[in-house]
Structure 1
Amino acid sequence: MSQSLEGILFLFSYRMDKLTICNFSAIPVPNPTTSVSLTWSPLLMDINQVATVEANVIACLKASLEDEAFSNLVKLIAINRITNGKKMMRQAQYLACLSYGYQFIKGSGYALQSDEHSENARKCLLSCASEPARPNDSDVVGDSANSRTMMLIILLTYYTLARSKLLLNRISTEHTNSEVSDDKAESRTERTTCSSSYLDVTSLLLRPGEGFFPPLKHLQIRLCTLLGKALANQEKLLTAEEHYSKGLELTGNLFGQNSAETIPILQALSQIYQKRPGDDAMQTVIHLNEKLMKISRNRQDTEGNSPFLYFCYGFDTSRRTSTFNLPFNLYRSP
């Protein structure tokens, strides 16, 4: 793995814990089965129709209409080209959303397409510096809102780009044991809390926690685990352990120290310590596996047979995704 990937991941995991998180009301979105059809005329393509299509994306995801949701993401690219021309910021926005959609709607098998679109979004972002400011644009509400919109576009672009490159550079046979669960969780129905300062971001897709862009606290955990995996793949076990531990701390603070959401990170940490020499490392492995067993048994008592008992006893773990579902997918394995 290149040093640039490590730098990308570190840059966007730095100081995200300083963000203030608070509640805000969800914006109602139209029913995807009765969504407004668009008239393909340049004169009628306005910001309201863009907002309608964005709302349709989220509504379709809530209704598990993934193909329709992705189709609307592609439609946004075309509408944006008609309505906004060569505005680099808007191009970057919808390219970033499309690249993210390739991975988290279509699946990790579309890493190449995701990488291509996120690279194009990155190039558009670099071109934004030379693009003259347009304070009268209908999609911008003041300089501060514009800055927050730009930050979210950059964050989504570089997170998706880093994950795409990790997917494309995966050596599956060598690093299978240290991978984190890639279960089919309800990641696109996340509706938690979000910083109130992002309410003035016009794009519904870019508002963290609204159902497309991940909540900021969750994205911070994703970045920690993604960086931990990238470093583990480079056999930088000490620094990988540090980032996984940070992700475990954040997950514990958000969901509870003995919550099921901590299980994938505990697994990854156990695999890392197994590769380290010494009795202390072995004692840590034993402690982590005991904790995994405890959490697994608690889940078994409340939800029936736990697939993680198979993990602890060394049996086939391929069954684990059939019964274990996180409330959202924090830990999609590259």
Structure 2
Amino acid sequence: MTVLRLGTRGSRLALWQAHWVQRLLASVHRDVRVEIVPIETDGDRRTEAALSTLSGSAFFTKEIEGALLEGSIDLAVHSLKDVATEAPEGLILGAVLERADPRDALVARDGHGLADLGEGARVGTSSLRRKAFLRADHPGLVTRDVRGNVPTRLGILDRGDTDALLLACAGLDRLELGARITSRLDPERFVPAPAQGAVAVQIRADDAAVRSRIAPLEHGPTRRAVDAERTFLNVLEGGCQVPLGAFAQVEGDSMRLVARVASLDGGRGVRGALSGPSDDPDALGRTLARRLIDEGAADILAELRPS
């Protein structure tokens, strides 16, 4: 029996993802036993402030990647939208699993949609992207910083400390909380974060044995879609805390990528879409990124960087 130690964050959603990978591996390898190893990350500890106000990066992956590099775990499971586009030396994404619903979700106490929330209604989110798009499309609403895991955020809403939340559909669905969703936002307009809804298995680049074990978990269409989105993000030099969205859909041999960048106050923004062959997602991501750079995307993002 081969034992694989799987590193993960300890949140309810992260553990759901880890157990999902554990079940998938058990279904294809009867001689493999997966032990789940919860690891606390910097982002889990630093809950007192919005991530956008903290220095550094890789808030939800650094400690797990360190454990993988030092050999105390054999593989790691991440929400792919939390993973940097430039991998630490020695690590690769060994498998990208089939994506769940990539859209953003509105969860409102009174069941209203975004357009129906009253002037001054408070919408909770910790995402700069969601704040910027909300300010651009619904300037009468007020954004409020809300952090914590999904149940914690729902508790804040239920106590009346905010009128609505913006969350990822995938996380709510995976935790069987999809019934709380008031509306699933149009990804053509409220463009999701790159790789939102996708789960990745990270391994050491030189570990051929583990790589072969997880190969059956790979979902080709999801990999191609998120590669296009993450290339777009990488060309614009954006981290996970930037007001930028990118969403690709694969249909047979073709792929369509839509992307949006907005200023934090919602006053400036660019949006574009591009179609191309699905077998070259990097080219599609680079081409659309350069087009939006020409239209002002890089200038908008530069305003966020320290001078």
- Give the TM-score of the pair, scaled to structure 1: 0.27
Point out the structure with the larger strand share. Answer: 2
- Give the TM-score of the pair, scaled to structure 2: 0.29
Larger Rg: 1
